[in-house]
């Protein structure tokens, strides 16, 4: 049975796409899990990381708009949008900049909060152990869709002075979704990212630990140029000998244990 993990935080620039890519790749490469990555961010950073280039096949944008237009997608329609990354050994559904305009179309769609759930039907995801959704930095209809179809929510938080900004709004949205739409969704954990050996970073870590306790991952991700090198080379960090590679291996083990 597939486990759907939404990587979410309404704050941008905190490493969500890097976490989604490297978590999925480590699950596949180190633990032989079958993984599907889904990019629902119009900035399409995850898609670029995976090496996506327009190829004439459907993207997530096409699938979303098709449902909004009243079409019923069958599994074969969705599977046409699935590509494979050889380097990360994962399948993925890419996004593109046109996904931003879908928010307007979604606003008038019937049962608009379940559009992504209909795309990621059991027929589509049954072949996968894990589905990882890279969410956009916004409390939007697309994020509501991600939380509606998720089993678990992983929240990366950059350890800086304003680390807590936006978390309260995300938690409020999570609570509403859980109570009204998706009672099965649970927190997977809070993941400290871009951790540095500075007083500001350590204070942020302490604040997160005090607030979230054991909901916070033991694993953390350091700030390092190796992350950008991985984005450019598209080589998963777990395949390198750098410190970040070890940190992502630790995170993956903890995620698998928590799931």
pLDDT tens-digit readout, 212-244: 999 999 999 999 999 999 999 999 999 999 999
Domain count, the chain: 1
Residues 170-176 have a mean pLDDT of 94
- The percentage of residues in the chain with a pLDDT greater than 70, rounded to a whole number, is 99
Q: What's the pLDDT at 235?
A: 95
How high does pLDDT run on average in the chain? 93
Q: Range of 244's domain? A: 3-258
197 pLDDT exceeds 90? no
pLDDT tens-digit readout, 65-116: 999 988 888 899 999 999 999 999 999 999 999 998 888 888 888 899 999 9
DSSP string, the chain: --EEEEE--SSSSSSHHHHHHHHHHHHHHHH---EEEEE--TT-HHHHHTT----SS--HHHHHHHHHTT----HHHHHTT-EEETTTTEEEE---GGGGGHHHHHTTSTTGGGHHHHHT-HHHHTT-SEEEEE--SSSSHHHHHHHHH-SEEEEEEE-STTTTTTHHHHHHHHHHHHHHT-TT-EEEEEEEESB-SSHHHHHHHHHHHHHHGGGB-S---B--HHHHHHHHH---GGGSSSHHHHHHHHHHHHHHHH-
CATH number, domain with residue 46: 3.40.50.300
163 pLDDT exceeds 70? no
Which residues, at least 6 apart from 13, have a Cβ–Cβ distance to it below 8 Å?
137, 158
125 pLDDT exceeds 90? yes
Q: What's the pLDDT at 185?
A: 98
Q: Is the pTM of this model over 0.75?
A: yes
Q: What's the pLDDT at 10?
A: 80
188 pLDDT exceeds 70? yes
Q: What's the pLDDT at 11?
A: 78
12 pLDDT exceeds 80? no
């Amino acid at each position: 049975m597939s486990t759907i993990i939404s990587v979410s935080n309404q704050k941008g620039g905190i490493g969500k796409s890097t976490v989604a890519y490297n978590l999925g790749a480590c699950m596949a490469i180190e633990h032989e899990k079958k993984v599907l990555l889904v990019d629902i961010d119009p900035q399409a950073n995850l898609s670029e990381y995976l090496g996506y280039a327009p190829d004439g096949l459907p993207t997530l944008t096409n699938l979303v708009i098709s449902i909004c237009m009243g079409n019923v997608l069958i599994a074969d329609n969705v599977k046409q949008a699935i590509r494979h990354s050889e380097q990360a050994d994962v399948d993925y559904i890419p996004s593109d900049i046109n996904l931003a305009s879908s928010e307007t179309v979604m606003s008038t769609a019937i049962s608009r909060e379940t559009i992504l759930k209909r795309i990621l039907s059991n027929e589509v995801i049954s072949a996968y152990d894990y589905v990882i959704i890279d969410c956009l930095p916004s409390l939007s209809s697309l994020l509501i869709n991600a939380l509606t179809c998720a089993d678990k929510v992983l929240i990366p938080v950059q350890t800086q002075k304003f680390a807590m900004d936006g978390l309260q709004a995300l938690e409020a949205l999570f609570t509403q979704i859980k109570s009204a739409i998706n009672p099965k969704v649970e927190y997977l954990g809070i993941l400290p990212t871009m951790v540095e050996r500075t007083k500001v970073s350590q204070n942020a870590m302490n604040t997160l630990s005090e607030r979230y306790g054991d909901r916070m991952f033991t694993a953390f991700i350091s700030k390092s140029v190796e992350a950008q090198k991985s984005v450019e080379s598209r080589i998963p960090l777990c395949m390198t000998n750098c410190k970040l590679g070890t940190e992502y291996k630790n995170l993956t083990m903890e995620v698998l244990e928590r799931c």
